Amino acid sequence: MTSASGSSTPPAPATGAEEGQTWRATQEQREGAVDLAPLLSGSNPWTVTQASAGSLRNRAVLQCDRERFSVDPEAVDRLFLELCASEALLVGVGSGLSFAAGYDYGGAVFARFFADFIARYHFSDMYRGGFHQFSSPEEHWAYWSRLILLACYHEPPGTTCSKLVRLLAGRDAFVFTTNVDHCLARAGVPEERLFAIQGDFGLWQCSRACHPKTYVNEAQVRRMVAEQRNGRIPSDLVPYCPVCAAPMCMNLRGGHPFVEDEAWEKACTRYQEFLEHIEGKRVLYLLLGIGDNTPTIIRTPLCRMARANPRSFIASISLEDRGHALAGTAVEDDPDLAGRCLHLQADIDLVLDLLLKRQEQKR
Ligand SMILES: [Zn+2]
């Protein structure tokens, strides 16, 4: 419907295609409401946003269910004894540790900085939204640049990772993780004691993996966030491989050939060397926040190692119940592991506090 030309009367209500335009206008208004400036400022959007939203969602979960997540002090005592008695520690870290530190991908921060994408695609959380097939690279990188900046270049609000570092200080320990968010390295886990097997939010690679190199993305990511409009970055910011001109992609395992660059290969070698070094020793295998996403990477091999080493002990801490946390590992049915296996269904941050307190008291 076209309005009568030359008429001074207001146009008739829109129908058909014009209704679509009305809807788009509303959408653009919504998109316009997403203020990305706090992502680029010096203050931490995780801390500010979650504090203004009341509290961390994970803390709220714990507070709502005190009984279920209360920590058994005897179990913490047992874990502390094993920690002190161990000659070496192999710590397997999953997403539950980052969640305990305050990286809540589905909470107030997601609602605030992804309101336009949520309105458009009904994403339930930041990470899952990343798997969406966006209509253009400009839209893809508008989404991913916000995600990378939040998950890689801003600290989580909690100090859980630093607590783990304090607990491991002076011990013969190695950390093996599926997390890709830099938290552990930033908190001070030494490079030579850390293997992030699944990649890194802070790195790009060629999507064809035409050469075994990764690229730090921080400067480009900041520009993408600063210069995007209506959920799209300018076309000239879309990254392409400097060798073969294919699109660049995240250096994350899954969906495309994964580049294992020199740093990754070195970390992998150090991990293998650590496994040889602890063979037959009194080892504490500690699983922190391991979920069900990729059980075969950390949970299954660590349980297998524990079973094979009669001097070892295996402990897990997560919000999952025991059956869920150790699912598929058969540790509970294994007589060889009787008395050498412990699961704490609890907040990792709280358990680390209790272990550090015991460590202080011991000194
Ligand atoms: Zn290439």
- pLDDT tens digits for 65-83? 555 567 888 999 999 999 9
pLDDT at 6 exceeding the cut of 50? no
Ligand 1 centroid – CA 221 distance (Å): 19
pLDDT at 94 exceeding the cut of 90? yes
How do residues 252-305 score in pLDDT, each as one tens digit?
A: 998 789 999 999 999 999 999 999 999 999 999 999 998 776 778 998 899 899
Band (pLDDT 50/70/90 cuts) for residue 135 is very high
CB atoms inside a 10 Å sphere around CB 243:
11
Specify whether 328 is located in the same domain as 225: no
Give how far Cα 104 sits from Cα of 46, 47, 95, 205, 298, Å. Answer: 9, 11, 10, 26, 22
CA-angle at 187, arms to 185 and 188, nearest 5°: 65
Give how far Cα 182 sits from Cα of 150, 158, 198, 229, Å. Answer: 11, 14, 12, 28
CA 23 – CA 167 distance, rounded (Å): 54
Band (pLDDT 50/70/90 cuts) for residue 323 is low
How many structural domains compose the chain? Answer: 2
**CATH (domain of 162):** 3.40.50.1220
In a domain, 47, yes or no: yes
Specify whether 135 is located in the same domain as 61: yes
Determine the structural domain holding residue 304 and report its residue range. Answer: 72-103+158-198+260-362
Task: State the binding site for Zn(2+).
Answer: 206, 210, 241, 249
Band (pLDDT 50/70/90 cuts) for residue 8 is very low
Ligand 1 centroid – CA 131 distance (Å): 21
Q: Check: CB of residue 59 under 8 Å from CB of residue 99.
A: no
CA 102 from centre of chain: 10
Ligand 1 centroid – CA 222 distance (Å): 23
Ligand 1 centroid – CA 219 distance (Å): 20
Which residues lie closer than 8 Å to 21 by C-beta, 6 or more apart?
14
Specify whether 34 is located in the same domain as 167: no
Which tops the pLDDT comparison, 11 or 344?
344
CB atoms inside a 10 Å sphere around CB 33:
10
Ligand 1 centroid – CA 130 distance (Å): 22
Ligand 1 centroid – CA 226 distance (Å): 26
Specify whether 148 is located in the same domain as 265: no
Ligand 1 centroid – CA 247 distance (Å): 8
Q: Check: CB of residue 282 under 8 Å from CB of residue 310.
A: no
DSSP state of 9: S
Ligand 1 centroid – CA 242 distance (Å): 7
Specify whether 147 is located in the same domain as 178: no
Q: Cα dihedral sign for 48, 53, 56, 58?
A: negative
In a domain, 239, yes or no: no
Specify whether 116 is located in the same domain as 193: no
In a domain, 211, yes or no: no
Nearest to 96 by CA among 293, 253, 252: 293
74: three-class secondary structure by DSSP: helix
Specify whether 33 is located in the same domain as 84: no
Helix residue spans in 180-328 (DSSP H): 183-187, 218-227, 262-277, 299-308, 322-325
CA 244 – CA 158 distance, rounded (Å): 41
pLDDT at 327 exceeding the cut of 70? no
Which tops the pLDDT comparison, 88 or 321?
88
Specify whether 356 is located in the same domain as 265: yes
pLDDT value for 295:
76
In a domain, 182, yes or no: yes
Specify whether 299 is located in the same domain as 349: yes
Specify whether 230 is located in the same domain as 296: no
Task: State the binding site.
Answer: 206, 210, 241, 249
pLDDT value for 139:
98
Ligand 1 centroid – CA 310 distance (Å): 47
Helix residue spans in 122-255 (DSSP H): 126-129, 137-152, 160-168, 183-187, 218-227
Please give the mean pLDDT across all residues of the chain.
Answer: 86
> What mean pLDDT is predicted for residues 83-111?
93
Which residues lie closer than 8 Å to 278 by C-beta, 6 or more apart?
87, 88, 90, 172
Hey, which residues does 288 pair with through a beta bridge? 93, 317
In a domain, 184, yes or no: yes
Ligand 1 centroid – CA 160 distance (Å): 38
CB atoms inside a 10 Å sphere around CB 85:
11
CA 233 – CA 230 distance, rounded (Å): 8
In a domain, 8, yes or no: no
pLDDT at 217 exceeding the cut of 90? yes
In a domain, 5, yes or no: no
Band (pLDDT 50/70/90 cuts) for residue 115 is very high
Specify whether 334 is located in the same domain as 224: no
Nearest to 109 by CA among 61, 63, 44: 44
Ligand 1 centroid – CA 72 distance (Å): 53
Specify whether 50 is located in the same domain as 112: yes
**Percent of the chain whose predicted confidence (pLDDT) is above 70:** 82
pLDDT value for 58:
55
In a domain, 11, yes or no: no
How do residues 13-51 score in pLDDT, each as one tens digit?
A: 333 444 444 444 455 445 556 999 999 988 899 988 887
